[in-house]
Amino acid sequence: QKEVEQNSGPLSVPEGAIASLNCTYSDRGSQSFFWYRQYSGKSPELIMFIYSNGDKEDGRFTAQLNKASQYVSLLIRDSQPSDSATYLCAVSSGGYQKVTFGTGTKLQVIP
Amino acid sequence: GAVVSQHPSRVICKSGTSVKIECRSLDFQATTMFWYRQFPKQSLMLMATSNEGSKATYEQGVEKDKFLINHASLTLSTLTVTSAHPEDSSFYICSATRGDSNQPQHFGDGTRLSIL
C-alpha cells in the first residue's frame, strides 16, 4: 500500500521565520508531488507542485524534492500568521492511479 | 487559474432526505473528478473517482447505492446522498483534474451537510 507520511504537528514558528514542512513517501515510482494548504473548515487549495529533483520556488514558497531519499518538503519564508493552516502533501504514481494524500501538518505562526 | 465550483455550500435537512451536491469545473474540461469526505479534525477520505461518461469507481467501504455519482459532462459531476441519516453529516469536497494523476487536483469549496 502506498503511503505518504507527515508529522501532524503542530509546528510552531515565530512570525518572519522559515517554516519547514516535510513529507516522505513509500512508492519509489512516484512521479508527481503536490502541496495543498487547508484552513480550518475550508477545502484544500493548491500551493505548488513539483515533478523533478531539486527546488522549485514560487514567491515565499519553495518545494524541494529528493527522489533518492523519497522525501519532499515545503519551505515557507517570512512566515505570516495568515500562513497558519494544515498543509497536505500529495503524491501521484502517474497515469490514472489514485493520488495519495498525507494526513497533513498543522502549522502555527506566532505573531 | 483552474476554478471548481461546488454547490450548495451548506445543507441542513431532516433524516431520510436525499441531498444532491453539484461540482462544476468553470474554466477547464475535467477529465476526472473526485469526491472526498472529511470529518472534523480528520484527514481527507476519498470516496470515489468519477470519469465523464463512465461509472464511478468507489473506494472500499463506500456504498455506491448510498452515494450516487453522475458525471454527465466534462464540466459537471454530481453526488447524491440518498436517504441521508445523521451519521452522513460531514464535509463533502469535490475536486477536478485536467488530465491524469500527474496533473494537480483543484478543489471546490466543499459542502457542509448536517442531517438532523
Interface test with A, best of B33, B46, B105, B111 (most A CBs within 10 A): B105
- Identify the closest residue of chain B to A98 by CA–CA distance: B101
Give the nearest partner residue to B100 out of A34, A94, A104, using CB atoms: A94
Q: How far is B46 from chain A (nearest CA, A)?
A: 9
The three cell numbers locating residue A37: 494548504
The three cell numbers locating residue B86: 445523521
Report the half-sphere exposure of B104 (CA within 13 A, side-chain side): 20
Rg (CA), chain A: 13
pLDDT per residue, tens digit, chain B (116 aa), is 689 999 999 999 999 999 999 999 998 888 899 999 999 988 899 999 998 888 899 999 999 999 999 988 889 999 999 999 999 999 999 999 988 888 899 999 999 999 99
Give the nearest partner residue to A45 out of B6, B46, B107, using CB atoms: B107
Model pLDDT for residues A73-103, shown as the tens digit of each residue: 999 999 999 999 999 999 998 877 789 999 9
Start-to-end Cα distance in chain A: 40
| Phi, psi (degrees; rounded to nearest 5) at A93 | -95, 5
**Nearest by Cα to A92 from A56, A50, A64:** A50
- Cβ contacts of A68 within 8 Å, gap of 6 or more: A53
